[in-house]
Amino acid sequence: MILKTLKRAACVFFVSFLFLILSAPVLFAQNPVANYDENAVPAFQLPDPLVLRGGGVVRDPSAWWGLRRPEILEIFENEMFGKTPVTKLPISFEITSLDKNALGGIATRKEVTAYFTADKSGPVMVILLYLPNKEKSKVPVFLAMNFKGIHTIHPDSNISITRSWLEIKQESLRKGNITVADSRGSASSRWPLEMIIHRGYGVATIYYEDIDPDFDDGFQNGIHPLFYKPGQTTPNANEWGSIGAWAWGYSRAMDYLETDSDIDSRRVALMGHSRLGKAALWAGAQDQRFAMVISNNSGCGGAALSKRAYGETIGSINRVFPHWFCDNFLKYGENEESLPFDQHMLLSLIAPRPLYVASAEEDLWADPQGEFLGALNASAVYKLLGTDGFQAELRPLPGKPVMSTIGYHIRPGKHDVTDFDWDCYLNFADKHLRK
Ligand code: GCU
């Protein structure tokens, strides 16, 4: 009996061992370990943003605007972020809260609710604005989405609690893991409102999950269903995912900013951190009303070159966040060499408007060197369009920003938004938006 059990155990052990040995290559291919070794970055050649698909060279701005730019935009629409629908929703904006004496009197706080349907049912987006009171003329504004609800960006107790945040956090709230009171101002280290207001700029922010909750539900919630054609239940392989939806939200906020007489909508700097930096780049690429775009630690799928496969790769981003991109993007996972484009081309779509890419030294997952090279390789397009492009050949030292039409810095520290980052963005905006 004992012998029989032992024999069976040995057999089970042997079969499991064999299974592990045989399946290791497959498991490894599905979940490769991130590469952080510069020497292990594969050799690659970047597609030239100034060479047409058919091989012709782009030699002047008119060939860029008429031929190459539309070509590149179409590649990103079809292969990466998915097409943004052109259908216009019957959107209305309503000022739902106003305080002319906010932040101790230095600012006016407004909350503007955007209703996406005529009967005001369905998702709504709330834009929280702080505008400097001391300015007599229309003010330039930083537009940036937030991760945790508008009430988290500052302890100001008059800010409404974000409704969609309440819905998404229901379970945790019930279990007492999060309290509404504790969440107020919890992200304020990333939003130095007083500093921005003192420098004469306004801030506009939206909770990103107002537009599309950030989980893979087959696009049944958020704004996607508002665009489905009869019978359609999910986006097609070349139609937008969540990043496309957030980018759309940035543009709808711009629709409002254009109507606000306190704001100079020709001087709106779009800023986004991390996944919201990816969305900001995509919004800035599609919507040329944004005068400036700032990518804070946007990493893979943002400013970092994918072909380097350093830190986060296309395979891993698609595995963990399958809803961020369009389905056509899946084929590039663990297959970066087959990409007919790379992220420098996304950045080139922002040209000649000032673009700032920021990295953090410890944020290796986002590949700081890849972000730097993304910016560097967009420079030729900026120069073709008559600007000074990116005035650096090597990555600058930490804490030493480059302020050409393409700006860049790497700062010490982690994946985050810090006062140093904001100080650089304010200096960059002073230089390029106050000319
Ligand atoms: C994850 C993800 C990144 C993303 C980041 C963020 O780390 O892998 O691609 O940028 O989340 O949005 O904070």
In a domain, 407, yes or no: yes
Which parts of 84-236 are beta strand (E)? 92-102, 107-115, 124-132, 139-146, 202-207
pTM: 0.93
Mean pLDDT of 226-247: 98
Point out the residues that are catalytic: 274, 415
Lowest mean pLDDT across 70-79, 174-183, 221-230: 174-183
In a domain, 159, yes or no: no
In a domain, 112, yes or no: no
- Separation of alpha carbons 332 and 96, rounded Å: 44
Residue to substitute in 312, 320, 415 for testing ligand 1 pocket (most ligand atoms within 8 angstroms of CB): 312
In a domain, 189, yes or no: no
The pLDDT of residue 1 is 47
- Domain count within the chain: 1
Q: pLDDT at residue 15 above 60?
A: no
Mean pLDDT of 260-286: 98
At 111-140, the pLDDT tens digits run: 999 999 999 998 999 999 999 999 999 999
Is 197 near ligand 1, meaning CB less than 6 Å away?
A: no
In a domain, 357, yes or no: yes
Instruction: Find the 275 Cα to ligand 1 centroid distance in Å.
Output: 5
In a domain, 120, yes or no: no
Is 123 near ligand 1, meaning CB less than 6 Å away?
A: no
Question: What average pLDDT is seen over the chain?
Answer: 94
Name the strands in the sheet holding 202-207, side by side, starting at the edge strand that comes first in the sequence: 92-102, 107-115, 124-132, 202-207, 139-146, 263-273, 292-296, 355-360, 406-411, 402-403
- Tokens in use for 153? 């960006």
Q: Which helix (H) or strand (E) holds 431?
A: helix 419-433
Instruction: Find the 158 Cα to ligand 1 centroid distance in Å.
Output: 30
In a domain, 209, yes or no: yes
Is 355 near ligand 1, meaning CB less than 6 Å away?
A: no
What domain range includes position 334?
A: 61-86+132-151+204-433
- Separation of alpha carbons 396 and 407, rounded Å: 11
* CATH (domain of 344): 3.40.50.1820
φ, ψ at 112 (rounded to 5°): -120, 125
CA distances from 260 to 33, 95, 131, 202, 265 (A): 49, 11, 11, 12, 8
CA distances from 304 to 313, 345, 347, 392, 434 (A): 10, 11, 10, 17, 29
In a domain, 181, yes or no: no
- Separation of alpha carbons 244 and 185, rounded Å: 28
CA-closest residue to ligand 1 atom 12: 275
User: Can you name the residues that pair with 269 across neighbouring β-strands?
Assistant: 142, 292
User: Can you name the residues that pair with 207 across neighbouring β-strands?
Assistant: 146
Instruction: Find the 274 Cα to ligand 1 centroid distance in Å.
Output: 6
Is 274 near ligand 1, meaning CB less than 6 Å away?
A: yes
Contacts of 374 (CB under 8 A, 6+ apart): 303, 304, 305, 342, 343, 344, 346, 347, 357
